[in-house]
Chains A and B, each alone.
Chain A
Amino acid sequence: MDPAAAKLIGAGLASIALVGAGVGIGTIFGNYLQGALRNPSAAPGQFANLLLGFALAEATGLFGLVVALIILFVF
């Protein structure tokens, strides 16, 4: 296979990691809303945890994106 083509395919495969980030962020916000609608008075206290969870989940997917960008732009 042409190395340039293999590089592009590899970068595309690496960015599949973002699927996991999407699922994770959706789960976090969905569950937060579910909890917040059940018990609205407890919701503001958990907002910091929501943001922390969002950032942690997003970062995990971005690791895959970094791998894709490294494949594209470093090699």
Chain B
Amino acid sequence: MFEAQAAEHAGEPPGLEHVEQTAHGAEGGLPNPMHQFEIKRLIPFEWFGFDASFTNSALFMMIAAGVITLFTLFAMRNRSLVPSRLQSVAELSYEFVAGMVRDNVGTAGMKYFPFVFTLFMFVLTLNMLGMLPYSFTVTSHIIVTFALAAFIFLGVTAIGFWKHGLKFFKFFVPSGVPVVMLPLLVVIEVISYLTRPISLSVRLFANMMAGHTMLKVFGAFVVALGLLGGWAALAFMVAFTGLEVLVAFLQAYVFAILTCIYLNDALHMHP
């Protein structure tokens, strides 16, 4: 899968011609729903043999960073005691994430609040930008979400070892189980710990990709059924778009809250 993503970064995904052929052959000229995930080089750039081009993915990440920065700066420019509507939105998002960190990690975790807040706002903005027509969903690429998840995993593990030293290995030994069961359970615990970055990244990527593919397929149905029959498909489309906005928020929330849960595990080990 990762090789495929890398190949997609390098240019045309493998077998795209073939896929388009089958899609056209089976559905009678429906557009390829995977076309929206294609990465385009906006400014080609080679760096010591690496393809470091400025792509549409990078562009949307920069837009997201810009939107978040401008929004928070503009919303909080007055800092009035009685907040304006925009300031309320900024305070609401701050309070939301702060409450999430406080509930799941405790006051010891507030040190890591800026990271979780940045992560939540970044993923949320990328997901929401992806909902705009003709835009590009950065989080629908596993390479992006896996990089985020791998960074979180490594960081949280480093925090665990830094806080507890070698005692952190006790995390893999569940307390209160018979010694006979331990060899099996420790292996299971280690595997479940190591799959965390994979499940964290695939969850976000799969939700985004599946949702956008579904929207594109239904959009093609609307066009294919035409003026007479397209209305039913269009109604579905509207409902699914609403669901996708919910999923876009929910996945950012889940991504952030799981980061909090992993942080809590690293800071407090067994609760």
Chain A interface (Cβ within 8 Å of chain B)? 4, 48, 51-52, 54-56, 58-59, 62-63, 65-66, 69-70, 72-75
A70-B1, A73-B19 known; A56+B254 contact, CB < 8 A: yes
Interface size on B, residues (CB 8 A): 23
Interface residues in chain B, defined as those with a beta carbon under 8 Å from any beta carbon in chain A:
1, 4, 13-16, 19, 22, 34, 199, 202-203, 205-207, 209-210, 213, 250-251, 253-254, 257
Q: B213 contacts A69, CB within 8 Å?
A: yes
- Min CB distance B154 to A, Å, is 22
- A5 CB to nearest chain B CB (Å): 11
Taken together as a complex, chains A and B put the C-alpha atoms of A74 and B206 apart, in Å, by 15
Q: Are A66 and B202 in contact (CB under 8 A)?
A: yes
| A64 vs B205: C-alpha distance when bound (angstroms) | 13
Q: Give CA–CA (A74, B34) in the complex, Å.
A: 11
Looking at chain A's contact residues, is the secondary structure mostly helix, strand, loop, or mixed? helix
Given contacts A58-B207, A62-B203, A66-B206, contact A51 B15 (CB under 8 A): no
> A51-B253, A55-B254, A59-B199 in contact; A66/B13 too (CB < 8 A)?
no
A75–B18 Cα distance when bound, in Å, is 10
A25, chain B: closest CB distance, angstroms: 12
Note all chain B residues with C-beta closer than 8 A to A52.
Answer: 254, 257
Alpha-carbon distance A44/B250, docked complex (angstroms): 17
Max count, chain A CB within 10 A of own CB: residue among B16, B34, B254: B254
The distance in angstroms between the C-alpha atoms of A68 and B202, with both chains bound, is: 14
- In the bound complex, what is the Cα–Cα distance between A62 and B205 (angstroms)? 10
| Residues in chain B near residue A59, CB distance under 8 A | 199, 202-203, 206-207
Complex contacts, A55 vs chain B, CB 8 Å: 203, 207, 250-251, 253-254
User: Contacting B15 at CB < 8 Å: which of A54, A56, A73?
Assistant: A73
Nearest-Cβ distance from residue A3 to partner chain B, whole angstroms: 11
- How far apart sit A72 and B19, CA to CA, in the bound complex (Å)? 8
Pick the contact of A74: B1, B210, B213, B257 (CB < 8 A): B1
8 contacts between A and B (CB under 8 A): A55-B253, A55-B254, A56-B254, A59-B199, A62-B210, A69-B210, A70-B4, A74-B4
